[in-house]
């Protein structure tokens, strides 16, 4: 009797649980679009769940792309205009409405056919966030369940009503004061929102956060840095808590394979970036590609691109999923373009190399606890792997040359290879399209003490004065990892931007000089060029409204590239009537300060004239014995530090409004940088 009663109660309990907690229904329409090839709508950052940025639209193709003109151009009301901001987001388009976010985390909805504004969301974000690494930027949005989602620099994830722009929910996933933020576009999938987090230069503990898409409730977190006893903890020094502040941020939008139930993403650099002396071991999961079970966050596999990274070679660009045939066998691939200049191509079912990747011995520096070997892919790198000797530097090295307290030249630099830029894949050509930066840096290590919310890099790097800064754009054959074709660019193109590929045989991309380009996907031949008037450093998107195909790109500049800032959304079509704008000032192609020399000026302002990452004047001439004042008038902390270590001068970190002075007694030419933002250059000529 009791057994029958217990069986009945158990049945009721199970039935009750099934009845009161059904699986939460996702957005069926968005879910279908995410799983399908990209057509008339562009509903997620990478086009669909693969991140392959491939559009099946082909009304615009290689035969008629030269007839494109501007269909409309809309300005985003001054949002994110200024030297501290970058405009790098891909717009989203659904049912004839376009949604785009700026570097100030402001969101705009527009008529995708006319550019007419429908609604605006102004973030009201604090302008004195001091833990921003590399410029104010937001790389895109997600959509689902009738909401638009974004991450903000203040480490909030926000959901907006698609029809009105009103805030539906806002969830903090950390505190920006502790070094955290969000710059990546989130991913909507199966009723969840997935978001990475920034802060690799501030001693954070990286993580992926999964939130309920309707409510904003945090469902689970997966930490990219293992706690003691967790998988990967054996790759950190035993008996220490170094991994708890080891960086490993996630800068990119994940991808998903619904059939495998796996979610994929790339993980950034370790902290402190340049000092490996106190973190002996491979330091998982820094600089790795990772797969988790999408529903639970349970670990599936990983592949580390750089063991014990001391060069800031973080894996920052989005992973790309693709299907291919190798040796007559169908294979499921995943690829990521690293800052090493290599593309890493794996089997996405298990994380094993799809094409060869061999562990090879590399140069050693025992004080840096360097790894004995590094994984070197079979195939071709997209940028040079060794630096050329430059006067004034004792050593010129290659990709894995270590360093200590004397500057060592290395190429690709930590801002080389591909950095944040998405890489599309075309099933028609079988090519991956990779933007690259070619830049030599002088690397140096120094001691760094951890303080919550303060920079924690353990050294730095900067391009030597007068050294060239150029780029490459490369088609890589995904079956061989070898170059199919490559073009050299006069500017760096790996620090933003990216491209999109279409069934019309086109590769679409912008350049920091303001030009929007269309190339033949098979050959790389340039077919179309249009001047947008602002730095075109965002990935384009392709969509259709009322049977007409459009191409859209955000043009507003990039703070690290130094390209011309603005707030424009350009769209193009075969029926367009708008012509190009005047070309803006071109970004620098040689490292060093620019502009006229100001005679007799003994006061330098940092962050003046709405250009956060600059010195004003950048070049000044004074007499020996003059004391020069450096005042931070920008929104975030800066310093002024000599590029020549034997000079030994630095203002130290200056908060907003703070001033420090330096006296220059000896004649000569003194170059300096802002060490947290080493793309800022200044010059003092002492007579």
Query: Would you say 247 and 268 are in contact if contact means Cβ atoms under 8 Å apart?
Result: yes
Q: Is 674 marked as a binding-site residue?
A: yes
Six-digit token pair at 228? 């003691």
> What's residue 411's pLDDT?
78
In whole angstroms, what is the distance from residue 241 CA to residue 238 CA?
A: 8
Catalytic residue among 105, 312, 537, 567: 312
Percentage of the chain surpassing pLDDT 70? Answer: 95
In whole angstroms, what is the distance from residue 79 CA to residue 122 CA?
A: 9
Q: What is the pLDDT of residues 174-225, one digit of tens each?
A: 999 999 999 999 999 999 999 999 999 999 999 999 999 999 999 999 999 9
> What's residue 1's pLDDT?
37
Q: What is the pLDDT of residues 37-53, one digit of tens each?
A: 999 999 999 999 999 99
CA distances from 12 to 5, 8, 21, 332 (A): 11, 6, 14, 43
> What's residue 392's pLDDT?
80
| Lowest pLDDT segment from 24-38, 49-63, 86-100, 265-279 | 24-38
Q: Is 638 marked as a binding-site residue?
A: yes
pLDDT at 413 over 70: no
pLDDT band (50, 70, 90) for residue 59: very high
Global pTM reads: 0.94
pLDDT at 544 over 50: yes
Q: What is the pLDDT of residues 501-531, one digit of tens each?
A: 999 999 999 999 999 999 999 999 999 999 9
Six-digit token pair at 543? 């969509």
What phi and psi values does residue 234 have, to the nearest 5 degrees?
A: -70, -10
Give catalytic status of residue 106 as yes or no: no
Q: What is the mean pLDDT of the chain?
A: 92
Query: Would you say 645 and 444 are in contact if contact means Cβ atoms under 8 Å apart?
Result: yes
pLDDT band (50, 70, 90) for residue 327: confident
Give residue limits of the domains in the chain.
45-573, 598-686
> What's residue 14's pLDDT?
34
Q: What is the pLDDT of residues 556-602, one digit of tens each?
A: 999 988 899 999 999 999 999 999 999 999 999 999 998 899 999 99
Same fold, 45-573 and 598-686: no
> What's residue 71's pLDDT?
98
> What's residue 418's pLDDT?
63
Find the mean pLDDT for residues 426-432: 98
> What's residue 414's pLDDT?
52
In whole angstroms, what is the distance from residue 419 CA to residue 287 CA?
A: 12
CATH number of 45-573: 2.140.10.10
pLDDT band (50, 70, 90) for residue 417: low
Q: Is 307 marked as a binding-site residue?
A: no
CATH topology of domain 598-686: Immunoglobulin-like (2.60.40)
| Lowest pLDDT segment from 2-11, 55-64, 210-219, 389-398 | 2-11
What is the DSSP track for 605-660? EES-TT-SS-EESSEEEE-TTEEEEEEE-SSS-B--EESSTTT--B---B-TT-EE
pLDDT band (50, 70, 90) for residue 12: very low
């Amino acid at each position: 009797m009791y057994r029958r009663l217990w069986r009945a109660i158990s049945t009721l309990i199970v039935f009750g649980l099934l009845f009161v907690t059904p699986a939460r229904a996702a957005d069926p329409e968005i879910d279908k679009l995410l799983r399908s090839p990209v057509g008339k709508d562009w509903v997620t950052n990478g086009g669909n769940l693969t991140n392959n940025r491939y559009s099946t639209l082909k009304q615009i193709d290689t035969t008629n792309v030269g007839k494109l003109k501007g269909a409309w151009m809309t300005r985003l009301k001054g949002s994110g205009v200024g030297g501290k901001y970058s405009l790098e987001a891909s717009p989203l388009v659904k049912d004839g409405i376009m949604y785009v976010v700026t570097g100030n985390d402001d969101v705009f909805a527009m008529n995708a056919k006319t550019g007419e504004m429908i609604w605006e969301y102004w973030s009201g974000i604090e302008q004195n966030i001091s833990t921003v690494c590399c410029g104010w930027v937001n790389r895109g949005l997600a959509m689902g369940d009738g909401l638009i989602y974004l991450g903000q620099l203040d480490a909030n994830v926000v959901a907006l009503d698609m029809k009105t722009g009103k805030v539906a929910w806002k969830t903090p996933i950390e505190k920006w004061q502790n070094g955290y933020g969000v710059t990546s576009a989130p991913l909507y999938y199966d009723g969840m929102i997935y978001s990475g987090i920034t802060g690799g230069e501030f001693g954070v503990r990286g993580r992926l956060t999964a939130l309920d898409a309707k409510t904003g409730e945090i469902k689970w977190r997966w930490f990219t840095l293992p706690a003691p006893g967790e998988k990967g903890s054996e790759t950190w020094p035993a008996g220490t808590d170094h991994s708890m502040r080891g960086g490993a941020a996630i800068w990119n939008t994940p991808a998903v394979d619904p059939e495998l139930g796996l979610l994929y993403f790339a993980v950034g650099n370790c902290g402190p970036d340049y000092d490996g002396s106190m973190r002996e071991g491979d330091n998982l999961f820094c600089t790795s590609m990772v797969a988790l079970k999408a529903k639970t966050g349970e670990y599936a596999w990983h592949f580390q691109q750089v063991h014990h990274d001391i060069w800031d070679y973080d894996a920052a660009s989005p992973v790309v999923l693709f299907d291919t045939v190798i040796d007559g066998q169908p294979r499921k691939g995943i690829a990521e373009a690293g800052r090493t200049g290599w593309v890493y191509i794996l089997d996405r079912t298990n994380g094993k190399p799809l094409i060869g990747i061999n562990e090879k011995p590399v140069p050693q520096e025992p004080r840096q606890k360097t790894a004995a070997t590094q994984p070197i892919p079979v195939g071709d790198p997209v940028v040079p792997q060794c630096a050329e000797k430059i006067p004034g530097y004792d050593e010129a090295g290659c990709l894995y040359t270590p360093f200590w307290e004397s500057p060592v030249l290395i190429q690709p630099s930590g801002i080389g290879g591909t950095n944040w830029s998405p890489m599309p894949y075309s099933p028609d050509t079988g090519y991956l399209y990779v933007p690259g930066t070619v830049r030599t840096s002088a690397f140096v290590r120094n001691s760094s003490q951890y303080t919550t919310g303060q920079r924690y890099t353990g050294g730095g790097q900067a391009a030597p004065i007068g050294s060239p800064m150029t780029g490459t754009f490369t088609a890589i054959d995904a079956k061989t990892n070898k170059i199919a074709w490559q073009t050299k660019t006069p500017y760096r193109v790996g620090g933003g931007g990216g491209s999109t590929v279409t069934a019309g045989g086109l590769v679409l991309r912008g350049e920091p000089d303001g030009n929007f380009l269309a190339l033949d996907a098979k050959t790389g031949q340039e077919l179309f060029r249009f001047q947008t008037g602002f730095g075109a450093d965002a990935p384009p998107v392709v969509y259709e409204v009322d049977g007409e195909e459009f191409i859209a790109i955000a043009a507003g500049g990039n703070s690290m590239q130094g390209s011309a800032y603005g707030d424009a959304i350009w769209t193009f079509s075969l029926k367009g009537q708008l012509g190009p704008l005047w070309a803006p000032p071109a970004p620098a192609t040689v490292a060093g300060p620019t502009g006229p020399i100001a005679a007799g000026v003994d006061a330098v302002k940092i962050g003046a004239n709405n250009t956060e990452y600059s010195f004003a004047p950048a070049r000044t001439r004074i007499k020996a014995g003059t004391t020069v004042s450096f005042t931070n008038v920008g929104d975030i902390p800066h310093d002024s530090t000599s590029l020549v270590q034997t000079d030994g001068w630095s203002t130290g970190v200056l908060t907003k409004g703070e001033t420090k002075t330096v006296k220059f007694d000896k004649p000569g030419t003194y170059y300096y940088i802002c060490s947290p933002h080493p793309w800022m250059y200044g010059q003092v000529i002492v007579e």
